[in-house]
Amino acid sequence: MAVVRKNIAAMTSAEKTAFINALWQLKTGSANGRNYNWYIDQHITYFARTNDNISHAHQSPSFFPWHREYLRLLELDLQTVSGNPAVFIPYWDWTGWASPFTADFLGAITNGSVSSGNFSPSWSWTMYRSSIATNFLQRRVGQNASRPTAAQVNTVQSYTVYDQSPWNASVSNSYRNRNEIELHNRVHNYVGGHMATREAPNDPVFWLHHCNIDRLWWQWQNSRGIDTYQPRTGFTAGVIDNNETMHPFGAGRTPSAVRDITPLGYSYA
């Protein structure tokens, strides 16, 4: 069943409840051999260069496709664990008015912590592999950065080259790197707390943030071309080419395999 990923501003109360309940079920149970903490493990493991000296998730061309596959797996697991094939990951358009940090959704914040209600310890939402010495989900919204503006998003979306050498955080004019630094990193720092660490998926807003990143990439692809990933087959300088497997996802899960979201079973409203 194909799902439509909605802006949080357009979600019904029932859709919000279905999403947060599915997250809780995956946190306390499992689906398809994975539980919620598996996702935190993978983000920590592939955050930077791995033992094979390859960058998978960040500061490399595979930033976009790695997270696209990562979100796709979570969405499938949420549907399985909840028994509801209509569950979807919503996106948070940071330039809009709607906030995910409400008592009926991802939890209201008191003194930098989500201490009661949704995603609090009393809700069985304990921190996993936390580098912050607390069992409470931590947020420092707006203390370290501001949200991107619509004008800043438009500037990033105007870059025409997907990525280029040296394929890392120093590339000045690639769409991948400008998005990763100016939008992706900025929002992680804007939320702060656990979102500003390697174990960022402890905070469920991680998924809404990355869903918006994926949506922006899909918009860019529709403008610049679906098959625009660089580097191409045969490039072996410490990054993933378009037909190399992205770990930990297994054989065949390459950037080319996830370039088009339609076969992946979702679209954006």
Supply the CATH number for residue 220's domain: 1.10.1280.10
Domain assignment present for 2: no
Range of the domain at 196: 9-268
Domain assignment present for 138: yes
Q: What is the pLDDT of residue 117?
A: 83
Confidence class of residue 51 from pLDDT cuts 50, 70 and 90? low
Q: What is the pLDDT of residue 121?
A: 84
pLDDT digit string (tens) for 54-86?
Answer: 778 999 999 999 999 999 999 999 999 999 999
Would the pLDDT of 145 be above 80? yes
Domain count, the chain: 1
Q: What is the pLDDT of residue 132?
A: 96
Would the pLDDT of 52 be above 90? no
Q: What is the pLDDT of residue 56?
A: 87
pLDDT digit string (tens) for 187-198?
Answer: 999 999 999 999
When pLDDT is averaged across residues 19-44 and rounded to a whole number, the result is: 97
* Percent above pLDDT 90 for the chain: 86
Domain assignment present for 240: yes
Domain assignment present for 1: no
Domain assignment present for 35: yes
Q: What is the pLDDT of residue 263?
A: 97
Comparing 54 with 163, the larger pLDDT belongs to 163
Is-above-0.95 flag for pTM?
yes
Domain assignment present for 4: no
Domain assignment present for 96: yes
When pLDDT is averaged across residues 109-123 and rounded to a whole number, the result is: 87
Domain assignment present for 186: yes
User: What's the per-residue H, E or C state across 44-94?
Assistant: HHCCCCCCCCCECCCCCCCHHHHHHHHHHHHHHHHHHHHCCCCCCCCECCC
